[in-house]
Amino acid sequence: MAGDAAANPVAAAEAAVAEGVKKIQIYSSSSSSSSARQVTPFWKEKYERDAKKYWDIFYKRHQDRFFKDRHYLDKEWGHYFLADKDGKNLVVLEVGCGAGNTIFPLVATYPYIIVHACDFSSRAIDLVKGHKDFSADRINAFVCDLTVQTLSEIIEPSSVDIVTMVFVLSAVSPEKMPLVLHNIRRVLKPNGRVLFRDYATGDLAQERLTCKEQQISENFYVRGDGTRAYYFSKKFLANLFMQNGFSVEEVSICSKQVENRSLEIVMNRRWIQAVFCNRSLVQMHENMSITEKFLNNYDDTEVDVSDSIADMFGMSPPADEVIKIEVKDYSFKIKALAKEYQHTCKSTGLMIWESAHLMSNLLAENPSIVAGKKMLELGCGSAGICSMIAAQLAEVVVSTDGDTEALSLLRENIISNLETSLLNKIVVKRLLWGNTEDIKAIKDLCGHSGGFEIIIGTDVTYNYDAISPLFETARELISNRENGICKPALVLCHIQRRVDESSIISTALHFGFELVDRWVNGMHSSHGGIINSWFVEGAGYMSFFKNTPLAILYFHA
């Protein structure tokens, strides 16, 4: 390596820490959702068709740890849950009950209520039934897709006093929302109420999903894990309910600035809260003028509230920002943004993706992939678990990313996790793909010994526009020399997304890369089976990836 490579990265990292990391102020961007690139019809149909599967995977992964119990229900809507004057039980229907974060606080607070709880994820219902406070006498939990099944065949028509819909309608495609409301109205008593809380337009998460080109249709987006979210305006929501037999009693947009002190990120969050009443046709006619007046005088004025992020969205606050990663004999404590919050942040480099988990396990199980070699990691992000495992084995590791905030956090993670003796073997560098100055700086690290013998990238192919610069950069930096039978290789691991593999492979070929092997969820091509040999039969870590559509592509230059 050249003299620059010998420079101890610890000093640079400590200097960056001493200077202080600039706080990331995440405001709503000025980008227009109407001009955003939408997902292709193929992926739109796939996300709709596999919606249940994505939520099943979500609950398999997070169990009951993602959402926090919604104790704010009593504070916000307690007067709706008062005991019936005749001493009868109050019947509540929780739509999209998830793991039970709404129903269990309700039954604990109000001993006289009976709850019907439905979700179209069977795993979610299993979590409800397995909860320590579950009682079949008070909770009727069942699987039901309200866009397909008839709710009144399970629950007696006109028998429910209150329906709670907390961050659930947003997961339904807009064209199917009327089906859900008609279904609910059949089992709701006349003058029964729907208590509603969900995402609002202009929320930081919506802006970031727009920037990441994850829009399905207007105000409707897909997250990185395949689950979807619609962002409601007051006018759209009021019209939706009014056109399907409800009157509007109240509706408001709430906003709150939330600070993640550990990662020094400020997020502007918006949600919508409303109450709707199931009116008769006569009542609807009488109430129409009031509702129309509301719509005609519509504005999107926000109510600034002092609730915490947990109270706003019913999500557990990101207290697990230091995430423990166990990979074979290695253990890392990584400071990162938990993946469930990835859609709130512009930088994808602050999260740990499944592809990085998989690739780090493969490196740990197969030291020969990087042993004694010069390794370059593209789009390393802030975690760097692949680079840190490689540092134990490789001659040198260069970890790169184009995001300066991710690099600052990466340096911090490397310093806190690696022994001093290994810190001299890993170099952190900024690399914007296609940037000649950045590429030259990386080349200089290799001196006269040529380029890198192994280049790795995990989840770096999700953006179509970045594919060409990615391979152009890799071609500039990969070694032209062969070490015996071991040829320099580019290995890409990713979750299958809307950028189809044919585009990736054809672009790779254009820049001089030949696909040697391909692995997709346990299936490898007939090109050679190199990747398949990396997997240890019966390895425990494979169960984590079983239902995740992961792919690995192995190229030679």
CATH number reported for the structural domain that contains residue 86 in this entry:
3.40.50.150
| Domain assignment of residue 42, yes or no | no
In a structure prediction context, what are the per-residue pLDDT tens digits for the chain, which is 557 residues long? 333 333 443 344 334 333 433 444 333 444 444 445 677 888 888 888 888 888 887 777 766 555 656 666 777 888 888 766 566 789 999 999 888 888 888 888 888 899 999 998 888 899 999 988 899 999 999 999 999 999 999 999 999 999 999 999 999 999 999 999 999 999 999 999 999 999 999 888 887 787 766 889 999 998 877 889 999 999 999 999 999 999 999 999 888 776 655 555 666 788 899 999 997 644 555 555 545 555 555 444 555 544 443 444 554 444 346 778 888 888 888 877 655 555 545 555 566 777 888 899 999 999 999 999 999 999 988 888 999 999 999 999 999 998 887 888 889 899 999 988 888 899 999 999 999 999 999 988 887 667 899 999 998 887 778 899 999 999 999 998 776 667 899 999 987 765 678 889 999 999 999 999 988 875 555 445 788 888 877 666 666 665 567 889 999 98
344: left (phi over 0), alpha (psi -120 to 50) or beta: alpha
| Strand order across the 454-458 sheet | 426-430, 396-401, 374-378, 454-458, 489-495, 550-556, 514-520, 523-524
Query: Token pair of 330, please?
Result: 């290695």
Does residue 96 contact residue 67 with C-beta atoms inside 8 Å?
Answer: no
The values of phi and psi at residue 495, to 5°, are -80, 135
Question: Do 383 and 288 reside in the same domain of the chain?
Answer: no
DSSP state at residue 88:
P
Domain boundary among 250, 280, 310: 310
59 shares a domain with 12: no
User: How much is the pLDDT for 543?
Assistant: 60
**pLDDT number for residue 508:** 94
Pair 283, 214 in one domain: yes
Task: State how beta strands 188-199 and 265-278 pair.
Answer: antiparallel
Report the alpha-carbon distance of residue 43 to residue 62 in Å, rounded.
Answer: 24
Q: Does the residue 40 lie in any domain?
A: no
Q: Which two tokens stand for residue 164?
A: 């709670």
SS3 557: coil
CB 195 within 8 A of CB 164: yes
- On whether both 111 and 189 belong to a single domain, the answer is yes
Do 362 and 289 sit in the same domain of this protein?
A: no
pLDDT at res. 322:
77
| Residue entry with tokens 């004057």 | 85
Shared domain check, 168 and 214? yes
Q: For the chain, give the longest Cα–Cα distance.
A: 88
Long-range contacts of 496-503 (CB under 8 A, 24+ apart): 496/520, 496/549, 496/550, 496/551, 497/43, 497/461, 497/462, 498/39, 498/40, 498/42, 498/43, 499/461, 499/462, 499/463, 499/464, 499/467, 501/551, 501/553, 503/464, 503/467
Return the HEC string of 54-69.
Answer: HHHHHHHHHCCCCECC
Residue 94: name the closest of 167, 4, 27, 33 by CA: 167
Nearest Cα residue to 188 out of 279, 323, 52: 279
- Residue 261 is assigned to a structural domain of this protein: yes
> What is the pLDDT, as a whole number, of residue 255?
82
| Backbone φ/ψ region at 55: left (φ over 0), alpha (ψ -120 to 50), beta | alpha
Of 290, 267, 264, 268, which is closest to residue 277 (Cα–Cα)? 290
What is residue 260's predicted lDDT score, i.e. its pLDDT?
59
Q: Is residue 177 part of a domain?
A: yes
Judge if 486 and 537 occupy the same domain: yes
Query: Domain ends where: 310, 326, 341?
Result: 310
Considering the domain architecture, whether residues 360 and 306 belong to the same structural domain is answered as: no
How many alpha carbons lie under 13 Å from residue 437 in its C-beta half-sphere? 2
Distances in Å between the Cα of 175 and the Cα atoms of 169, 170, 238, 300, 398 are: 11, 12, 16, 23, 48
User: If residue 417 lies in a helix (H) or strand (E), which one and from where to where?
Assistant: helix 404-417
Does 106 share its domain with 215?
A: yes
Q: Six-digit token pair at 233?
A: 């305006």
Evaluated on CA atoms 67, 71, 75, 76, the torsion sign reads: positive
* Backbone region of residue 471 per phi and psi (left: phi > 0; alpha: psi in -120 to 50; beta: other values): alpha
β-strands 454-458, 374-378 pairing: parallel
- Smallest Cα–Cα separation from 200: which of 176, 235, 165, 224? 235
Pair (138, 239) in one structural domain: yes
Query: Could you tell me if residue 257 is inside a domain?
Result: yes
Count structural domains, the chain: 2
Containing 214, the helix (H) or strand (E) segment is: none
9 and 57 co-located in one domain: no
The residue range of the domain holding 504 is 3-17+353-556
In a domain, 493, yes or no: yes
Cα gap 59→64, rounded to integer Å: 7
- Determine contact, residues 482/488, Cβ cutoff 8 Å: yes
Residues 6+ apart with CB under 8 A from 153: none
What pLDDT is stored for residue 34 in this prediction? 46
- Specify if 289 maps to a domain: yes
| 292 and 229 in a common domain | yes
The pLDDT assigned to 556 comes to 93
Whether 43 is in a domain gets the answer: no
